[in-house]
Structures are given as structure tokens and as C-alpha cells.
Amino acid sequence: MSVYPWLFRTFIRHVDAEQAHVLGLEAVSIAGRIPPVRGLLRATVGHLDPDRGAPAPSWSARQPRPHIGPREVPGRIGLAAGMDKNARAVLGMSALGFAFVEIGTVTPRPQPGNDKPRAWRLMEDHGIRNRMGFNNLGAEAAAAQLRRLRSIPAGRSAIVGANIGKNKTTPEDRADEDYFTCAQALAPWADFVVVNVSSPNTPGLRDLQAVGYLRPILEAARRGCEAAIEHRVPLFVKIAPDLSDEDIIAVADLSREIGLEGIVATNTTIDHDLGEGGMSGKPLFPRALEVVRLVGGHLDDGQTLIATGGVFSAADARAMLDAGADLIEAFTAFVFEGPTWPGQLNRALEQY
């Protein structure tokens, strides 16, 4: 049994949440860059086969092994955007057992994000509140990092998505230009691109989820991908849990109409009384499950639904899959449960 949850609740919780994030991410990044360490992690905590050395069990006929575009995904659980904003820890996260990694959110130009403090743990609720504000090094730096990643076999084997957003200073009526720029920069190195219009921490961003605003943004992101690379890069949109059911259905209908490969549901919620910022973790799970079920009922069979929001256990994950999700992303559970968690959960879902 992992000792990390005890360490987290006894010691790590007393370290500033953002500082702990930076230190932990750097440790994973360093481990991923050292091949023997990376291999050891993969062989122990991160292996996706339930019995090392034995063939992986076949996936059931009811739930064949999932794909993102042409890439076969080796497990159901991936890392949600927000953890590795600048694509520095993809190899380490993959070695820990995440089946895919979504980096970002990446904006065209570097930006520092909102003033600190901007991240808080909700220890009793198993949640996190953040108002980070898309702090990242910009699209050029992320593209360079992904280009280096793809230059080695281990990097080419990793399944990587790029979550893209607009800069805080970009007017809403020019938001499509930012999404075009980011998509063009990152599409050559990403297995899929996710349009983020649902973070609560960039003023006015969530207003862009309205179909009238969203359509030109998604079309611009598609043009950016097509301008950068000949093959089709799967394009997703990430939605907030705070949308009305009617608006959620409208976004799902739009995704079918313009040929998106899928939807990521959901982002953090502002349905709390804790102050500014979005909340993730266990408190989000009931609404996220409702949204996943609603979206799942309005997508075409060929589209992919990635669920995220409060998944901590295999039972949580199975509920999301039963509701219509094809894949699941996590962030907060990884913070609370530690480095052995993604591999354990992916192994628990092997025969789902």
C-alpha cells in the first residue's frame, strides 16, 4: 500500500499548494528524463499489465480498447490539463502509469497568470480551488518542448494532447486568432488538441462557450491545425460543468455539426462559496457525471468523450464509463493519492 496519502496528509499539506505542485512536477520531470529511472518506474508503479511479464488481458468486446484518432490508448486514465502546463513532465507522467497526458493550457504569448496565492487544498473535501489564470511560457516554448520530446522513441510513443487558450489581454472579438496561433504551433507535435473556453480564471472566457462565439473559435483552431500539418489532428472542446443542460446539448450538437472528434467534460466549477477560482476534486464528481451522461447521449458514435471531474476510485471511473465516457482524465486525485495512483487505477480498469 502506498505511504504517499499518509505523507500528504501529515507533511505535504503544510507546504504551499503551488510550491508543492512545482516541486512535485520537477521531480517527475527529472525522473522522466533519466532512462533507467523512467524504466524502473514503468516496471513497478506504472506498468499497465496486471501481472508483470504476462500478456495484458484482452479488453472486453463490449468496450474495445479506445483510440484518440489513429492512436490506440493503452489505458482509460490520462492526466488532465493544468498539471504540466509547459510539457516538461510527459515522460515521467507516462512512466507513472498515465495512459495519455494533456499538457497546457498554452496561450500564444507567455503570461504569468493571476497574483499569488492562487491555489488552495480543500483537505476535508478532497478538492482543490485554483485561480491560476493560464500561467505558462507560451506556444513557442511548448512547441519546442514537444519537438524535443518527439525526437526520441520514448517521446514518440507517448500520447500527448495540447490544451489551448487565449491570452488574458486578447479581446473576446479576437479570441479566434489566439486559438488559430496555438493550434498551428502545437498541432505538429500533438496527438490531439483541446480548445479550452471553460476556465473560470480568465475574464470573459466562459462567455465564449455560447455557440455563436464558439463556432468561429473552433473553426479557427481547425484551420490552425490544417495550416500546420497535412494529416488531420483530432480536435476537442472542453466545457464547464456550470453550463445549463440546454447549453451543453447545444455545444454537443455543434461538435457534431462541424465534425469535432470529441468533447472533454468537465472543467472546474464555480458553484461554491469559497472565493474566486474554480474547484476540482470530489465535490465536482456528481455534476461532472451528470454532464458526461448528457453529452454522451448527444454525440455520434465516432466521437470520443473524455470525462474529468472528481474521479478518485475505480468505482468513480466505471460510473463515468457507464455514463458514456470513452476515456477519463484526472488531476486532483493524483495530488491527493500520489504517484502509484494512475497505474493502480488503469490496471483496475484493464478489463472494463
pLDDT of residue 63: 54
Tell me which residue of 198, 225, 146 sits closest to 308, measured CA to CA: 198
Q: Of 20-29, 54-63, 213-222, 282-291, which range is least confident?
A: 54-63
| Containing structural domain, residue 260 | 4-43+65-348
Residue 324 lies in a domain: yes
d(CA 346, CA 106): 27
- Whether 52 is covered by a domain: the verdict is no
CATH of the domain at 284: 3.20.20.70
Q: Of the candidates 3, 44, 177, 49, which has an alpha carbon nearest to the alpha carbon of residue 107?
A: 177
pLDDT, residue 48, reads 76
In a domain, 49, yes or no: no
Does pLDDT of 231 surpass 70?
Answer: yes
In the DSSP assignment, the letter for residue 208 is G
The total domain count for the chain is: 1
pLDDT digits (tens, 9 = 90+) for 188-204: 999 999 999 999 999 99
Say if 88 falls within a structural domain: yes
Q: How far apart are the first and last CA of the chain?
A: 23
pLDDT tops 70 at residue 61: no
Please provide the DSSP assignment of 247-277 as one string.
HHHHHHHHHHHTT-SEEEE---B--SSSSSS
For residue 111, being part of any structural domain is answered with yes
CA angle 160/165/169 to nearest 5° reads 150
Q: Is 60 a catalytic residue?
A: no
60 within a domain of the structure (yes/no):
no
Residue at 58 is within a domain = no
Mean pLDDT for all residues in the chain = 94
Higher-scoring residue by pLDDT: 346, 352: 346
Among candidate residues 29, 198, 199, 255, the one labeled active-site is: 199
